[in-house]
Amino acid sequence: MNIVCIGGGPAGLYFALLMKKLNPNHQLTVVERNRAYDTFGWGVVFSDATMENMRIWDPETADQIESSFAHWDDIELQFKGRTIKSGGHGFVGIGRKKLLNILQSRCEALQVRLVFETEADSDADYPDADLIVASDGINSRIRSRYADVFEPDIVTRPNRFIWLGTKKLYEPFTFIFEKTEHGWFAAHIYKFDDQTSTFIVECPEAVWLAHRLDRMSLDESIAFCEQVFANNLQGEHLMSNARHLRGSAWLNFQRIKCEQWSHFNGRQHVVLMGDAVHTAHFAIGSGTKLALEDAIELTNQFKLAGAVKSEGGQGDESPAGIEQIPQVLQAYQAIRHIDVLRLQNAAWNAMEWFEVCGERYCDQLEPEQFMYSMLTRSQRISHENLRLRDKGWLEGFERWFAQRARAQVLSQTQAQPDAKIGVGAGEGAKEKSPPPPMFTPYKQRSVVLKNRVVVSPMAQYSAHDGVPGDFHLVHLGARAMGGAGLVFVEMTCTSADGRITPGCPGLYNDTQREAFKRIVDWVHSHSDAKIAIQIGHAGAKGSTRRAWDGIDQPLQAPQPAVPEGEQAWPLISASPQQYLKGVSDWSREMNRDDMDRVLQDFVAATHRAAQAGFDWLELHCAHGYLLSSFISPLTNQRTDDYGGLLANRLRYPLRVFAAVRAAWPQALPMSVRISAHDWVEGGITPDDAVNIARAFKAAGADMIDCSSGQVSKEEQPVYGRMFQTPFADRIRNEAGIATIAVGAISEADHVNSIISAGRADLCAVARPHLANPAWTLTEAAKIGYKGVVWPAPYRAGKPQMETLFERERAAREA
Ligand SMILES: Cc1cc2nc3c(=O)[nH]c(=O)nc-3n(C[C@H](O)[C@H](O)[C@H](O)COP(=O)(O)OP(=O)(O)OC[C@H]3O[C@@H](n4cnc5c(N)ncnc54)[C@H](O)[C@@H]3O)c2cc1C
Ligand SMILES: Cc1cc2nc3c(=O)[nH]c(=O)nc-3n(C[C@H](O)[C@H](O)[C@H](O)COP(=O)(O)O)c2cc1C
């Protein structure tokens, strides 16, 4: 086979040598515009795992790389005058030039033809090739030529970066953050040989412009960076080796993805590889890894096709024929695009972290928590993963976190002198090692929660005439004994016509209040959990059937055959609306009288909640219900003072909030649940959510419970582990108000990571609590944390559960 690789970067060179090795009869040519043994760029980084893979495919190259690379385990942060280091991260770094030289000489040894100083204009320049590999990097001409086939998706990111080097040697992988009068700069620094370190400087576009870096020459930019990082550089210089590049030396990262990776141009097959087909931000330093692994996989597919071709699968070096190229290219894309996507997602998270850290984290977080947040930025590294990497560092962090939590709780000491607050309380008193962050206490106003787990509100559709009964006592009682710090009652409605279904509870009469008081008293006397109520009005989403009889389906219109309590009632909301098009009943627009009446109902329900003894109250402003219908532009088309801009749409929910806050005891906390994203074009966005949170904060809210969606059936949510946590993170760190994260938080590891990184203060867990009321106790045993206190009558079960999980862990490790 005659193969031409356009571009002699890591992808083209490594593929050429692997294919030549697979079958020396193949003709392989690499065409490179630069001179032989000449390249720009400093060091590149990849993981130990990539090295192992390379060793399998070509030990000669792996040996040479290994003897040249710098290996390091530690990551160091220099921030606000502090230096924090953690180990166990396992990277290798090598000069890009050194890497290419090794690949070039190996190509020569295997008789790959290397053609330097030749600009390939197009694949048409090589009519005799059977296969053209477009390994021509991020600005691939071949990709542009067939853009309609490859369908590249190119996103240019807002941060500016400059790729510099220095003779100062940094032993750990080092991150430095420095604040200037216009904002924060970050440096990513790693040594790649015994004389040089890579030094990438990054900042947001606005900071870059404010410093007039757009007008500075390369030398001026270097001098500027030397000044910003002078404390660290201590007279050492920064250098550039990209003087040949035209335009600003400051670049914007471009994320590239392609729908299609290969194409038949009428004469031959063309396939994209490396940066030409995908890029990954340097924040997780994996572009070279991806390029090398592409080369390995394409070779592997040729090898497999050859093995299939030769009889009985023997002789796996049998050459795959030209006729097999289409299937090989298809398999290459099918396999690689999944791995690439996974890595691109992680790289995206890491990149976004660096884009927002100046605004969101640098000023807000203390160095310990900032380090944790930075280490977990790609969201691939979790709490327990950090423990595996560096147990000592993580325990130090946990100790620091526990002390902070304790200080926060003790800040108003007299409020609850006998409160059980984790470390130093109950069984926890005997612990030597610190509690995981999930099990640290938390305080809002006078209420101390023993840990960070919340049983999220979940409608149970089991009330009669709005009165909670034995079902609720057992349901909530079991969850209160199950270890969570705070247990929420489901959405409890402020009027009969504010219910979602006839099975929803209410607080609009004294019978309901007394029924709730029985439950609250039980929880207080049999557990150390706190109990919260969520009050709301269903608005246009009311008058529907219990979930198991058809969720969101309207009740039947009043008629003699339908029992009275099951008959539909009229609906109100911000604007006329039919939640399920063509199915739901229409709501009518609320007038001022409706608004006054509903507000009074909220206040009355609040008084009853206080009389029932609840510890915490949440105002439900999410999920398309009545108050939410005012906030979202999708459901509010009012032309009066309560419609239009967000500030107007918030007016009624804020009025209700203020009235409820005034009626609710000052010593007790109030949270507000919002839909932080409508997931619909034209709806509420996470940007809006920050402003919504600011407005409720200004009105006196203590916390924002960050849910999303359920406002419109047009929604297109992007689900995944902890998928709503980014909203809690943003609101907490941009609006400066405590948050509750919720949504697909299903393990202690999730809770620990979220709380530790300062993405939220509490984690609400819903569906897992339906399956297991003792979710918190179970998760504690799973991670081997013994400091959690079980209800006295259940204690015999604790050591047994701990032993069973211990055995499971040991078996897994073995
Ligand atoms: C600041 C920064 C830091 C980075 N850090 C890391 C890191 O730490 N770890 C990591 O793994 N990756 C890193 N990368 C990314 C990494 O450099 C690339 O992902 C990797 O080099 C991709 O390899 P490639 O072979 O696909 O493309 P390239 O390395 O870009 O090679 C393409 C080659 O094609 C040649 N070429 C292009 N067009 C033509 C043409 N028409 N004719 C002839 N020749 C042509 C070019 O001269 C070039 O040599 C970093 C990138 C940047 C910008
Ligand atoms: C059966 C059920 C009922 C729910 N009822 C409510 C409710 O009354 N109020 C509310 O704000 N959210 C309600 N939710 C949403 C949950 O509180 C939570 O936000 C959501 O289920 C995501 O969390 P999870 O992934 O842990 O389940 C309900 C969820 C479920 C599964």
Q: Is the pLDDT of residue 422 over 60?
A: no
Handedness of CA 728, 730, 732, 737 (dihedral sign): negative
pLDDT in the model for residue 247:
67
Choice among 625, 642, 652, 785 that is catalytic: 625
In angstroms, the CA 619 to CA 627 distance is: 9
Task: Assess contact for 272 and 12: CB atoms under 8 A.
Answer: no
DSSP three-state, residue 665 = coil
Question: For 17-32, what is each residue's pLDDT tens digit?
Answer: 999 999 999 999 999 9
Pocket test for ligand 2, best of 453, 458, 487 (most atoms within 8 A of CB): 458
**Per residue in 748-782, is it b (16+ CB within 10 Å) or e — as a string?**
bbbbbbbbbbbbbbbbbbbebbeeebbbbbbbbbb
Q: Is the pLDDT of residue 315 over 50?
A: no
pLDDT band at 242, cuts 50/70/90? confident
162 alpha carbon – ligand 1 mean position (Å): 15
138 alpha carbon – ligand 1 mean position (Å): 7
746 alpha carbon – ligand 2 mean position (Å): 13
Half-sphere exposure of 492 (CA within 13 A, CB side): 30
Tell me the average pLDDT of the chain: 93
Ligand 1, residue 39: give the atom nearest the CA.
49
Question: For 674-727, what is each residue's pLDDT tens digit?
Answer: 999 999 999 999 999 999 999 999 999 999 999 999 999 999 999 989 999 999
Q: What is the mean pLDDT of residues 443-461?
A: 98
User: Which numbered ligand comes closest to the C-alpha of 12?
Assistant: 1
pLDDT in the model for residue 598:
98
Tokens describing residue 784: 């081997």
Half-sphere exposure of 291 (CA within 13 A, CB side): 30
Residue that wins the pLDDT comparison between 640 and 48: 640
Task: Assess contact for 11 and 295: CB atoms under 8 A.
Answer: yes
3-state DSSP helix/strand/coil percent for the chain, to nearest 5? 45, 20, 35
458 alpha carbon – ligand 2 mean position (Å): 5
Torsion of CA 75, 80, 83, 87, to 10 degrees: -30
Pocket test for ligand 1, best of 17, 32, 192 (most atoms within 8 A of CB): 32
pLDDT in the model for residue 423:
35
Ligand 2, residue 767: give the atom nearest the CA.
27
pLDDT in the model for residue 424:
35
pLDDT band at 372, cuts 50/70/90? very high
Torsion of CA 226, 230, 236, 241, to 10 degrees: -20
SS3 labels along 588-625: EECCHHHHHHHHHHHHHHHHHHHHHCCCEEEEEECCCC
Active site residue 719: no
**Whole-Å CA distances, 239 to 163, 198, 318:** 9, 9, 49
Q: Are strands 82-86 and 131-134 parallel, antiparallel or unpaired?
A: unpaired
Half-sphere exposure of 374 (CA within 13 A, CB side): 29
What are φ and ψ of residue 684, in 5° steps? -65, 135
Give the pocket of ligand 1 (CB within 6 Å).
Answer: 6-12, 31-34, 44-46, 119-120, 135-138, 141, 163, 200, 274-276, 282, 285-289, 291
pLDDT band at 420, cuts 50/70/90? very low
Q: Comparing 309-318, 540-549, 633-642, which segment has the lowest mean pLDDT? A: 309-318
Contacts of 173 (CB under 8 A, 6+ apart): 45, 72, 74, 75, 76, 89, 91, 188, 189, 190
User: Which numbered ligand comes closest to the C-alpha of 351?
Assistant: 1
Closest residue by CA, ligand 1 atom 37: 136
pLDDT in the model for residue 318:
57
802 alpha carbon – ligand 2 mean position (Å): 29
Q: What is the mean pLDDT of residues 774-794?
A: 97
Closest residue by CA, ligand 1 atom 46: 7
266 alpha carbon – ligand 2 mean position (Å): 55
* % of the chain beyond a pLDDT of 90: 86
- Which residues make beta-bridge pairs with 492? 535
pLDDT in the model for residue 419:
41
pLDDT in the model for residue 415:
45
276 alpha carbon – ligand 1 mean position (Å): 9
Give the pocket of ligand 2 (CB within 6 Å).
Answer: 456-459, 490-491, 534, 620, 622, 673, 707, 742-745, 765-767
Closest residue by CA, ligand 2 atom 14: 458
User: Which numbered ligand comes closest to the C-alpha of 708?
Assistant: 2
Q: Is the pLDDT of residue 457 over 50?
A: yes
- Which residues make beta-bridge pairs with 160? 203, 252
Nearest to 743 by CA among 458, 449, 401, 373: 458
Q: What is the DSSP string of 684-718?
A: --HHHHHHHHHHHHHHT-SEEEEE---S-TT----
Half-sphere exposure of 144 (CA within 13 A, CB side): 8
User: If you ran DSSP here, which 8-state letter would residue 540 be given?
Assistant: G
What are φ and ψ of residue 786, in 5° steps? -100, -5
Q: Is the pLDDT of residue 323 over 70?
A: yes
Closest residue by CA, ligand 2 atom 15: 458
Pocket test for ligand 1, best of 225, 257, 282, 340 (most atoms within 8 A of CB): 282
Q: Is the pLDDT of residue 44 over 90?
A: no
491 alpha carbon – ligand 2 mean position (Å): 9
Ligand 1, residue 200: give the atom nearest the CA.
1
Closest residue by CA, ligand 2 atom 29: 458
Ligand 1, residue 142: give the atom nearest the CA.
41
Q: Are strands 70-72 and 152-166 parallel, antiparallel or unpaired?
A: unpaired
Give pTM, 2 decimals: 0.91
Task: Assess contact for 135 and 12: CB atoms under 8 A.
Answer: yes
